[in-house]
Structure 1
Amino acid sequence: MEETRTWTVALADGTLIENLTLGGNNFQSETEITADIFDGNLSEVHISASDGDMTGCAYSDTLHNAELVQITPPEDNPDGKWWFILRELSEDELFKMRVRAQLDYLAMNSDIDLEDM
Protein backbone atom coordinates (compact mmCIF):
# COMPACT_ATOMS: atom_id res chain seq x y z
CA MET A 1 0.00 0.00 0.00
CA GLU A 2 1.36 3.41 -1.02
CA GLU A 3 1.82 5.90 1.79
CA THR A 4 0.13 9.24 1.28
CA ARG A 5 2.56 12.15 1.16
CA THR A 6 1.79 14.71 3.85
CA TRP A 7 2.99 18.25 4.33
CA THR A 8 4.13 20.31 7.29
CA VAL A 9 3.86 24.08 7.46
CA ALA A 10 6.24 25.68 9.98
CA LEU A 11 5.27 29.23 10.91
CA ALA A 12 7.67 32.01 11.96
CA ASP A 13 7.13 31.38 15.69
CA GLY A 14 7.90 27.67 15.31
CA THR A 15 4.26 26.51 15.28
CA LEU A 16 3.93 23.36 13.18
CA ILE A 17 0.79 22.49 11.25
CA GLU A 18 1.32 18.84 10.43
CA ASN A 19 -0.23 15.90 8.57
CA LEU A 20 -1.60 18.12 5.84
CA THR A 21 -2.59 16.92 2.41
CA LEU A 22 -2.47 19.18 -0.59
CA GLY A 23 -5.04 19.74 -3.32
CA GLY A 24 -3.82 22.36 -5.79
CA ASN A 25 -2.88 25.29 -3.56
CA ASN A 26 -5.19 24.22 -0.70
CA PHE A 27 -3.63 22.67 2.36
CA GLN A 28 -6.13 20.24 3.88
CA SER A 29 -6.23 19.37 7.56
CA GLU A 30 -8.19 16.96 9.73
CA THR A 31 -7.69 19.32 12.69
CA GLU A 32 -9.26 22.75 13.06
CA ILE A 33 -7.43 25.64 11.44
CA THR A 34 -8.14 29.17 12.68
CA ALA A 35 -6.84 32.55 11.53
CA ASP A 36 -5.26 33.31 14.92
CA ILE A 37 -2.66 30.56 14.31
CA PHE A 38 -1.28 32.65 11.44
CA ASP A 39 -1.57 36.10 13.03
CA GLY A 40 1.91 37.64 13.12
CA ASN A 41 3.48 34.31 12.08
CA LEU A 42 3.82 34.65 8.32
CA SER A 43 7.06 36.61 7.94
CA GLU A 44 8.79 33.32 7.14
CA VAL A 45 6.97 30.06 6.48
CA HIS A 46 8.69 26.75 5.76
CA ILE A 47 6.88 24.00 3.89
CA SER A 48 8.11 20.43 3.77
CA ALA A 49 6.90 17.11 2.43
CA SER A 50 6.96 13.91 4.48
CA ASP A 51 9.07 12.21 1.82
CA GLY A 52 11.25 15.27 1.16
CA ASP A 53 9.98 15.55 -2.42
CA MET A 54 8.48 18.97 -3.16
CA THR A 55 7.46 17.91 -6.70
CA GLY A 56 3.86 18.79 -7.38
CA CYS A 57 3.70 21.30 -4.55
CA ALA A 58 2.10 24.63 -5.47
CA TYR A 59 4.44 26.33 -2.98
CA SER A 60 8.17 26.86 -2.69
CA ASP A 61 9.80 25.42 0.44
CA THR A 62 10.06 28.89 2.01
CA LEU A 63 7.62 31.79 1.81
CA HIS A 64 8.65 35.27 2.93
CA ASN A 65 6.04 37.84 3.92
CA ALA A 66 3.13 35.52 3.29
CA GLU A 67 -0.52 36.14 3.95
CA LEU A 68 -3.43 33.88 4.72
CA VAL A 69 -5.78 34.00 1.73
CA GLN A 70 -8.62 31.97 3.20
CA ILE A 71 -9.71 29.21 5.52
CA THR A 72 -12.61 27.02 4.50
CA PRO A 73 -14.38 24.97 7.20
CA PRO A 74 -15.11 21.23 6.77
CA GLU A 75 -18.81 21.72 6.05
CA ASP A 76 -17.90 23.69 2.92
CA ASN A 77 -15.47 21.09 1.53
CA PRO A 78 -16.22 17.80 -0.19
CA ASP A 79 -13.71 15.86 1.92
CA GLY A 80 -14.89 17.28 5.26
CA LYS A 81 -11.47 18.76 6.09
CA TRP A 82 -10.29 22.25 6.96
CA TRP A 83 -8.68 23.92 3.93
CA PHE A 84 -6.37 26.93 3.90
CA ILE A 85 -4.40 28.85 1.31
CA LEU A 86 -1.28 30.97 1.77
CA ARG A 87 0.41 33.29 -0.67
CA GLU A 88 3.60 35.31 -0.74
CA LEU A 89 3.20 39.09 -1.00
CA SER A 90 5.00 40.73 -3.93
CA GLU A 91 7.65 43.41 -3.46
CA ASP A 92 5.20 45.92 -4.95
CA GLU A 93 2.52 44.99 -2.39
CA LEU A 94 5.03 45.27 0.45
CA PHE A 95 6.18 48.68 -0.80
CA LYS A 96 2.58 49.94 -0.99
CA MET A 97 1.88 48.65 2.53
CA ARG A 98 4.96 50.46 3.90
CA VAL A 99 4.03 53.71 2.15
CA ARG A 100 0.44 53.48 3.41
CA ALA A 101 1.65 52.87 6.98
CA GLN A 102 3.98 55.86 6.73
CA LEU A 103 1.20 58.08 5.37
CA ASP A 104 -1.15 56.94 8.12
CA TYR A 105 1.50 57.73 10.73
CA LEU A 106 2.15 61.19 9.30
CA ALA A 107 -1.57 61.92 9.02
CA MET A 108 -2.18 60.82 12.59
CA ASN A 109 0.64 63.03 13.90
CA SER A 110 -0.54 65.98 11.78
CA ASP A 111 -4.22 65.54 12.60
CA ILE A 112 -5.08 65.14 8.91
CA ASP A 113 -7.86 62.90 7.63
CA LEU A 114 -6.52 61.18 4.50
CA GLU A 115 -10.07 60.29 3.46
CA ASP A 116 -10.78 64.00 2.92
CA MET A 117 -7.92 64.34 0.43
Structure 2
Amino acid sequence: MITEKHGTIAAKIARKGDSIIERMVDDTGQDAVTHYFVRAVIAELNMSDVSLSLETGRTHQIRVHMQFLGHPLIGDTLYGGTTERIDRQALHSETLVFPHPMTDEQMTFSAPLPDDMKSLLFK
Protein backbone atom coordinates (compact mmCIF):
# COMPACT_ATOMS: atom_id res chain seq x y z
CA MET A 1 0.00 0.00 0.00
CA ILE A 2 1.34 3.44 -0.94
CA THR A 3 1.03 5.97 1.85
CA GLU A 4 2.99 8.93 0.43
CA LYS A 5 0.22 11.13 -1.02
CA HIS A 6 1.94 11.95 -4.33
CA GLY A 7 5.24 11.74 -6.13
CA THR A 8 7.13 11.24 -9.35
CA ILE A 9 8.97 8.15 -10.48
CA ALA A 10 11.79 8.98 -12.90
CA ALA A 11 13.45 5.64 -13.59
CA LYS A 12 14.72 4.34 -16.92
CA ILE A 13 13.11 1.18 -18.30
CA ALA A 14 14.86 -1.55 -20.30
CA ARG A 15 14.15 -5.09 -21.47
CA LYS A 16 14.85 -7.69 -18.82
CA GLY A 17 17.58 -9.95 -20.17
CA ASP A 18 16.55 -11.72 -23.36
CA SER A 19 12.82 -11.46 -22.61
CA ILE A 20 10.67 -10.03 -25.37
CA ILE A 21 7.95 -9.27 -22.82
CA GLU A 22 9.33 -8.38 -19.39
CA ARG A 23 10.86 -5.00 -18.59
CA MET A 24 12.79 -3.64 -15.60
CA VAL A 25 14.19 -0.42 -14.19
CA ASP A 26 17.77 -0.11 -15.42
CA ASP A 27 20.14 2.81 -16.00
CA THR A 28 20.79 1.58 -19.55
CA GLY A 29 17.10 1.86 -20.47
CA GLN A 30 14.97 4.62 -21.93
CA ASP A 31 13.80 7.59 -19.88
CA ALA A 32 10.44 6.99 -18.22
CA VAL A 33 8.51 9.37 -15.96
CA THR A 34 5.32 8.54 -14.05
CA HIS A 35 3.50 10.89 -11.67
CA TYR A 36 1.24 9.39 -9.00
CA PHE A 37 -1.42 10.64 -6.63
CA VAL A 38 -2.92 8.42 -3.93
CA ARG A 39 -6.70 8.85 -3.97
CA ALA A 40 -7.42 6.45 -1.11
CA VAL A 41 -5.61 4.09 1.25
CA ILE A 42 -7.50 0.96 2.25
CA ALA A 43 -5.32 -0.13 5.16
CA GLU A 44 -7.36 -3.19 6.16
CA LEU A 45 -6.80 -4.63 2.66
CA ASN A 46 -3.20 -3.37 2.37
CA MET A 47 -3.90 -1.51 -0.88
CA SER A 48 -4.19 1.97 -2.34
CA ASP A 49 -6.27 3.54 -5.10
CA VAL A 50 -3.70 5.45 -7.15
CA SER A 51 -4.11 7.86 -10.06
CA LEU A 52 -1.16 7.84 -12.47
CA SER A 53 -0.13 10.25 -15.20
CA LEU A 54 2.56 9.41 -17.74
CA GLU A 55 5.06 11.79 -19.32
CA THR A 56 6.47 8.97 -21.42
CA GLY A 57 4.89 5.85 -22.85
CA ARG A 58 7.25 2.94 -22.32
CA THR A 59 6.14 -0.67 -22.57
CA HIS A 60 4.74 -1.78 -19.19
CA GLN A 61 5.72 1.61 -17.71
CA ILE A 62 3.03 1.72 -15.02
CA ARG A 63 3.56 -1.91 -14.09
CA VAL A 64 7.36 -1.60 -13.90
CA HIS A 65 7.33 1.69 -12.00
CA MET A 66 4.84 0.41 -9.43
CA GLN A 67 6.98 -2.70 -8.91
CA PHE A 68 10.02 -0.41 -8.57
CA LEU A 69 8.26 1.41 -5.72
CA GLY A 70 7.66 -1.95 -4.07
CA HIS A 71 3.92 -1.86 -4.78
CA PRO A 72 3.08 -4.09 -7.77
CA LEU A 73 -0.41 -3.98 -9.21
CA ILE A 74 -2.91 -6.42 -7.76
CA GLY A 75 -3.29 -9.24 -10.27
CA ASP A 76 -0.02 -8.50 -12.12
CA THR A 77 1.83 -11.78 -11.65
CA LEU A 78 4.58 -10.83 -14.14
CA TYR A 79 5.71 -7.99 -11.87
CA GLY A 80 5.04 -9.43 -8.43
CA GLY A 81 1.33 -8.89 -7.86
CA THR A 82 -1.01 -11.60 -6.60
CA THR A 83 -4.31 -12.85 -7.98
CA GLU A 84 -5.97 -13.34 -4.59
CA ARG A 85 -8.51 -10.57 -5.16
CA ILE A 86 -8.82 -10.28 -8.95
CA ASP A 87 -7.89 -12.52 -11.89
CA ARG A 88 -6.33 -9.76 -13.99
CA GLN A 89 -4.22 -6.66 -13.56
CA ALA A 90 -6.01 -4.09 -11.43
CA LEU A 91 -5.23 -1.42 -14.00
CA HIS A 92 -7.84 0.83 -15.59
CA SER A 93 -7.48 3.79 -17.92
CA GLU A 94 -10.08 6.19 -16.58
CA THR A 95 -9.23 9.04 -18.97
CA LEU A 96 -7.13 9.30 -22.12
CA VAL A 97 -6.17 12.73 -23.45
CA PHE A 98 -4.15 13.33 -26.62
CA PRO A 99 -4.03 15.72 -29.59
CA HIS A 100 -5.93 14.72 -32.72
CA PRO A 101 -3.28 13.70 -35.29
CA MET A 102 -4.66 15.96 -38.04
CA THR A 103 -6.34 18.92 -36.30
CA ASP A 104 -4.27 19.00 -33.10
CA GLU A 105 -7.57 19.41 -31.21
CA GLN A 106 -7.40 17.92 -27.72
CA MET A 107 -9.30 14.62 -27.61
CA THR A 108 -10.57 13.28 -24.28
CA PHE A 109 -12.05 9.83 -23.70
CA SER A 110 -13.31 8.47 -20.38
CA ALA A 111 -14.45 5.04 -19.20
CA PRO A 112 -16.15 4.02 -15.95
CA LEU A 113 -14.44 1.71 -13.49
CA PRO A 114 -15.29 -1.94 -14.29
CA ASP A 115 -17.40 -3.86 -11.77
CA ASP A 116 -14.60 -6.23 -10.72
CA MET A 117 -12.40 -3.28 -9.78
CA LYS A 118 -15.28 -1.51 -8.01
CA SER A 119 -15.66 -4.59 -5.84
CA LEU A 120 -11.97 -4.31 -4.86
CA LEU A 121 -12.39 -0.74 -3.66
CA PHE A 122 -15.95 -0.63 -2.37
CA LYS A 123 -16.64 -3.89 -0.53
Common topology (TM > 0.5): no
Higher helix share: 1
- Specify which structure has the bigger relative contact order, considering alpha-carbon pairs within 8 angstroms and separated by 6 or more residues: 1
Q: TM-score, normalised by structure 2?
A: 0.29
The structure whose Rg is larger is 1
